[in-house]
Amino acid sequence: MYGNDFGEPLNAAETADYADAVQEYFDGLIGADQRIEPRDAMPDGYRRTLIRQIAQHAHSEIIGMQPEGNWITRAPSLRRKAILMAKVQDEAGHGLYLYSAAETLGVDRAELLDKLHSGQQKYSSIFNYPTLTWADVGAIGWLVDGAAIMNQVPLCRCSYGPYARAMIRVCKEESFHQRQGFEILWTLSRGTEEQQAMAQDAADRWWWPSLMMFGPPDTGDAAAPGGHTEQNMAWGIKRFTNDDLRQKFVDMTVPQAQKLGLVLPDPDLRWNDERGHWDFGAIDWDEFWRVLKGDGPCNEQRLAHRRRAHDEGAWVREAANAHAARQAARQEVA
Amino acid sequence: MTERTDLRSQASPSAPGGADGVAYVLGLADDALIYAQRLGEWLTRAPQIEEDLALGNVGLDLLGQARALLTRAGDLEGAGRDEDDLAYLRDEREFRNVHLVEQPRGDFGQEMARMLWFASYQHELYTHLVDSVDEVVAGVAAKALKEVAYHRDHAGQWVVRLGDGTAESHERMQAGLEAVAPYVAELGDDDPVSVAAAQAGVGILPSSLVPGTVAHVEAVVAQATLRMPDPPRWRSRGGREGVHSEAMGYLLAELQHIHRSHPGASW
Ligand SMILES: [Fe+2]
Ligand SMILES: [Fe+2]
């Protein structure tokens, strides 16, 4: 080649023009409320945000298996045992769909799991609370799966196609979970005095943490520093603010609690005719931040359990890889 | 005879009578129930998420078999006991499962060895029980046959992967086979209840299931480049008479505790 003294030319994808074109194309899709698909070019920030959010969501499904898995061997009837095993299994399935959705963004599951195990990526703090009685299994289904649905239904319209599609499958199962949880508490609240007390105690312990599941408030002192709500809404990743979703959840749940005959542990809970919503008391955001940062009753335990399973299974995964490689080599020879 | 049991036996004309029939069906149910209980412990502890799902599936299948069979045993008994009465309110000496299924969870290789043996046995068993004169047992067997074929396959594939994987996995898979070896002979013991059930056409003689079971396990072990364990120095006995190992009491304590703490409550 002649005159080849100005170094390697830039790859077309590294030019500023290209970045502008990507942004324009992407903005067009988002503006038209179209789905972004893995093959589409997308801004880096969008990709990174999605990877983080989908990974944390996947981790939550996997860690979330533990508090309920804790009751499989003790479920008080065989029917409940079967329903619970199926539920914990569903959560494993949710984790798998979500890791697959994350993989379409160019990361792999092993890498994400390492980040979970090293504490670099988080999971929902709700799972750092213990399941102490059978009624807690009901409360998790009713409140935790209920809050998850509130969060996830809008994600079915998320701008990123694979995430949206995963959410559609997940939401269907989550609504079963919520109904099953409600049914557990319904039975307990119509049962013996001990069973009723068990149900009330579970509602007392799970109510506030489930309100925290929607994340910090969007405004005020407790708002997350450098929150991403606005950007995520512009990107079509988020459709409602944390406070909007929390209010919807309260409005949905209070009448259900009344049906169950359970008293929610909030003296400030009352219907506001003017707003057309339930007013509720102040959430203890100090507790939220404390648990998020690691000082919750089960943070250490959940991660240690997860790491132990992973470490104890390393030889199995290695063997499966070695066997697959040997099989492939044998086929080549043959 | 109460009127109630008369009605029931009219509904199922092929119901074989007698305490032996009840005990035989309980033995089938207890094997499935107790193994499901052990497999339930694996959820959240498996080597990879796919395996949490798979072990959960096997456990759920077995739990489903157990529930149908316990219900059948309760109906045959005619004393008004349902699946939960039988699962939660019997004491250890009334459980008729073999020792293999009650043993504490070992590592994943050991679990695959146990599952391979148990599913191979159940596959032989249900293949024959499809023809049971007890129509309910025959129906459970027909449905379960497809399930246990999958269990047998799943365990077999893992035994091969681990046997023919790395040096470490080869050694650990061999150790898994050795660990369960003392518990497999009991699957083929012809206890009096099974003999009577076989004569009545309800059941099948356990010893007749041994050749098919062993042949399948041997084929998998060979493919896995492993070897069949030498005959063990001791072997388990007596599960079908309700004589269990020490692990069983703890298993039942966990299984039954909540249910028993609230007598008469519904869940
Ligand atoms: Fe889920
Ligand atoms: Fe769920």
Q: How far apart are CA A208 and CA B263, in angstroms?
A: 32
Separation in Å, CA of A253 to nearest CA in chain B:
22
Closest CA to A116 of A305, A319, A317: A305
- Here the tokens at position A41 are 């070019």
CA A78 distance to own-chain centroid: 29
pLDDT for the residue B67: 98
The shortest CB-CB distance from B53 to any of A77, A93, A322 is to A93
Residue A236: half-sphere exposure toward Cβ, Cα within 13 Å: 19
A193 touches chain B (CB under 8 A): no
How far apart are the CA of A58 and the centre of ligand 2, in A?
12
| pLDDT tens, per residue, chain A with 334 residues | 455 455 555 666 667 787 788 888 888 888 888 899 999 989 999 999 999 999 999 999 999 999 999 999 999 999 999 999 999 999 999 999 999 999 999 999 999 999 999 999 999 999 999 999 999 999 999 999 999 999 999 999 999 999 999 999 999 999 999 999 999 999 999 999 999 999 999 999 999 999 999 999 988 888 877 667 888 888 888 889 999 999 999 999 999 999 999 999 999 999 999 999 999 999 999 999 999 999 999 999 999 999 999 999 999 999 999 999 999 998 888 7
A315 touches chain B (CB under 8 A): yes
Nearest ligand, CA of residue A177?
Answer: 2
Contacts of B70 in chain A (CB under 8 A): 78
- Here the tokens at position A58 are 């996947």
Cβ contact, residue pair B255, A318, below 8 Å: no
CATH number of B17-230+240-261: 1.20.1260.10
Residue with tokens 């013996």: A192
Cβ contact, residue pair A73, B255, below 8 Å: yes
| pLDDT tens, per residue, chain B with 267 residues | 344 444 444 444 445 557 889 999 999 999 999 999 999 999 999 999 999 999 999 999 999 999 999 999 999 999 999 999 999 999 999 999 999 999 999 999 999 999 999 999 999 999 999 999 999 999 999 999 999 999 999 999 999 999 999 999 999 999 999 999 999 999 999 999 999 999 999 999 999 999 999 999 999 999 999 999 999 999 999 999 999 999 999 999 999 999 999 999 999
Nearest ligand, CA of residue A93?
Answer: 1
Secondary structure letter of residue A270 according to DSSP: E
- The domain spans of chain B are 17-230+240-261
Cβ contact, residue pair B254, A62, below 8 Å: no
A23 touches chain B (CB under 8 A): no
Separation in Å, CA of A255 to nearest CA in chain B:
23
How far apart are the CA of B59 and the centre of ligand 2, in A?
19
Q: Which residues partner with A36 through β-bridges?
A: A160
Q: How far apart are CA B225 and CA B159, in angstroms?
A: 10
Secondary structure letter of residue A2 according to DSSP: -
